[in-house]
């Protein structure tokens, strides 16, 4: 089997699928809530669902979390981001 052309697929158990479904629902609710906070602080429309969420982390020596919330539809008011540190909301991309 060629590693570059074939990827392994493993079916998870029914219990694990149920747990993954529940976790996905929980994460989705939290990401939507975070996006509302960011967009609200930036004076953007808060009723737009997130279509894409990106999280980037730093290193143990320089811990940094950068969150980007891309709306499910393109909006004239842009995308909202959150960077910690310093704990700021900004229009993407954050400085």
CB-count exposure of residue 32 (10 Å: 0-12, 13-18, 19+): middle
Domain ranges across the chain: 14-91
pLDDT tens per residue across span 45-81 = 888 888 888 888 888 888 888 888 877 766 667 788 8
* Phi and psi based region of residue 49 (left: phi greater than 0; alpha: psi -120 to 50; beta: remaining): beta
Model pTM?
A: 0.74
For 64, phi then psi, to 5°, come to: -150, 140
Predicted pLDDT at 1: 47
> For residue 20, is pLDDT > 90?
yes
Residues 6 or more apart whose CB falls under 8 angstroms from that of 7 comprise none
Cα 27 to Cα 49: distance, rounded to the nearest angstrom: 13
Does 83 sit behind a cis peptide bond, omega within 30 degrees of 0 on the bond before it?
A: no
Predicted pLDDT at 53: 85
* Phi and psi based region of residue 43 (left: phi greater than 0; alpha: psi -120 to 50; beta: remaining): left
């Amino acid at each position: 089997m060629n590693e570059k052309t074939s990827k392994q697929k493993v079916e998870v158990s029914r219990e694990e699928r149920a747990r993954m479904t529940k976790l996905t629902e929980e994460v989705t609710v939290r990401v939507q809530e975070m996006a509302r906070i960011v967009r609200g602080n930036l004076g953007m429309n808060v009723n737009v669902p997130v279509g894409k969420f990106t999280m980037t982390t730093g290193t143990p020596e320089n811990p940094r979390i950068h969150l980007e919330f891309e709306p499910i539809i393109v909006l004239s008011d842009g995308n909202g981001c959150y960077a910690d540190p310093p704990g700021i909301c900004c229009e993407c991309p954050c400085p």
